[in-house]
Amino acid sequence: MFVLSILLLVAAVVLFLLGRGGGAGLRIGAVLSALGGVLAGVFACVHVVSAYEVGVPVTFGKVGSPLTSGVHFTSPFTDVTSFSTRPVDLNLNDEDVVEVRSSQGGVLYADVTVKWSVVPGKAVALYRLAGSEDAIQERLVLADSREVIRNVFAEHTSEEGYASAREQIGAETEALIKERLAPRGIDVTAVNLRNVRPSKKLQEQIDKKIQQEQATERAVEAGRTAKAQAERKRIEAEGIARANKIIAQSLSDKVLYNQCLEAYKEAARAHPVYAVPCGTNANGTPVIVDNGKD
């Protein structure tokens, strides 16, 4: 734009000189060229920083103060690099998934999203450090996030990484990434640990462990069942033994003789010939009685 302004002004001067001999059309062209050159020069000195952006002006290699959103008048030789102050998503998945190792050496794959943005007041420092928004993400946010994620997972077991401590690991990761990037002028608004999956080898180890645990549980349950059955049989045997002991203590010879006589009376009513194992007198001598004879 500035070069166009110079060319238009030069053209205006040439047309004006040529039009001094009376050419009215040349003079009008000179005026129009001069007006266009002035307008082009004004636009070359105006730079608009969009909403939710911050600009870093550089004039002949010298970095100036950051430009906030709005219209700014700068030197036509000034180049303005803009940085977005809106949160930007850095997605670490698919080909960029983070490969981590647990404290036990198991390999896990973590899908993470880091939401970050440039702090306007630190835009100049970030420009000097990285140069562009893409470079900030690649050299600072991505590199530091990967390092923090690996360090956090290295302090936990494989089971904690993919199951029991997912929330804790996510919170630790977010806190450490914020702490790492804040001094550099990068505001991390959120770190989402979206998914953690074990490697194929680790998954095989997990499945084998689950099978072993299930087999152990079945063996323990079988042992409990056998123990319970043995205890039940012991209790039954003790009950029978106590019952027999009570019966043995309560059955005297006289009681047995009386029970035998009762059986004799029943047999006498039902059969004409019968045996009396307890005898017919107090001696208890067994006899055979024919009830059909007088």
Q: Which phi and psi (to 5°) does residue 175 adopt?
A: -65, -40
pLDDT at 93 over 80: yes
The Cα–Cα gap between 71 and 254 comes to 127
| pLDDT tens track for 268-286 | 666 655 555 555 555 555 5
The Cα–Cα gap between 192 and 167 comes to 10
> At 65, is the secondary structure helix, strand, or coil?
coil
Q: Which phi and psi (to 5°) does residue 285 adopt?
A: -75, 125
pLDDT at 148: 94
pLDDT band at 173 (very low <50, low <70, confident <90, very high): very high
Percent of the chain with pLDDT over 90: 16
Q: In 222-259, which positions are buried (b, 16+ CB within 10 angstroms) versus exposed (e)?
A: eeeeeeeeeeeeeeeeeeeeeeeeeeeeeeeeeeeeee
Average pLDDT value for the chain: 76
Contact 82, 67 (CB under 8 A): no
Contact 84, 20 (CB under 8 A): no
| pLDDT tens track for 19-40 | 665 566 665 666 666 666 555 5
Contact 288, 281 (CB under 8 A): no
Q: Which residue has the higher pLDDT, 8 or 167?
A: 167
The residue-averaged pLDDT of 104-133 equals 88
pLDDT at 257: 66
> At 161, is the secondary structure helix, strand, or coil?
helix
The Cα–Cα gap between 116 and 138 comes to 12
pLDDT band at 174 (very low <50, low <70, confident <90, very high): very high
The Cα–Cα gap between 174 and 172 comes to 6
The Cα–Cα gap between 290 and 257 comes to 21
pLDDT at 19: 61
The Cα–Cα gap between 290 and 238 comes to 45
As a residue count, the chain comes to 294
The Cα–Cα gap between 13 and 31 comes to 9
pLDDT at 4: 55
Other beta carbons within 10 angstroms of residue 133's beta carbon come to: 17
Q: Which phi and psi (to 5°) does residue 252 adopt?
A: -90, 175
Q: Report which secondary-structure segment, H or E, holds 150.
A: helix 143-153
> At 281, is the secondary structure helix, strand, or coil?
coil
The residue-averaged pLDDT of 195-216 equals 72
pLDDT at 14 over 70: no
The residue-averaged pLDDT of 166-185 equals 91
Q: Exposed, middle or buried by CB within 10 Å (0-12, 13-18, 19+), for 14?
A: middle
Contact 176, 152 (CB under 8 A): yes
pLDDT at 34: 60
Q: Which residue has the tokens 């084998």?
A: 208
pLDDT band at 264 (very low <50, low <70, confident <90, very high): low
The Cα–Cα gap between 150 and 107 comes to 11
